[in-house]
Amino acid sequence: MTKAFQAPIKALEQWVMSHPNNFPPIVINLTDGAYTDGNPANAASELKNLHTTDGNLLLFNCHISDQAINPIQFPSDNQAAVLSGFAEELFQMSSLLPSPMLPQARAKINTIEAGARGYAFNADLNAMVDFFEIGTRTGTER
């Protein structure tokens, strides 16, 4: 996962320099949560430090799990309190949903609170579809 987060950094640095006034890039990581090449937190931070005048790069993590619990979609700190281990780490690495994305997200998932992050845990097919749909709409589209 560390290498996966590091791989696009140079290309994204060039993109934000060439498009400084655009909505920032969105990186969506689909994962089983386990990392095998060291803790990816620093690489995730490096990604999230890239920015345009509209804000920092958005890093969203969709965590696939075989646990027998309902999906947790776009949780706030309070809603994520049940997470532990890799799930908690991925939640902490995930970006906050920016305000332009909140209305569309809340229209789809009415449990989204202030401070929601771009994170899904134990995502089934429906949760993944919602995640990708919300995660790829900037809220600035007309």
Q: Is residue 103 part of a domain?
A: yes
DSSP secondary structure, 84-137, as one string: -HHHHHHHHHSPBPPGGGHHHHHHH-TT--TT-BSEEES--HHHHHHHHHHHT-
Nearest Cα residue to 39 out of 73, 75, 6, 77: 6
- Evaluate whether 95 touches 85 at the Cβ level (below 8 Å): no
Longest alpha-carbon distance in the chain: 45
Domain count for the chain? 1
CA distance 84 to 10: 32
CA distances to 26, 40, 56, 90, 136 from 106, rounded to whole Å, are 19, 29, 22, 22, 15
Q: Is residue 140 part of a domain?
A: no
Domain range enclosing 24: 2-135
Predicted confidence pLDDT, tens digits, the chain (142 residues): 999 999 999 999 999 999 999 999 999 999 988 889 999 999 999 999 999 999 999 999 999 887 778 889 999 999 999 999 999 999 999 999 998 888 888 988 888 998 999 999 998 888 888 888 888 876 555 3
Two tokens, residue 34: 């386990």
CA distance 123 to 25: 23
Q: Is residue 142 part of a domain?
A: no
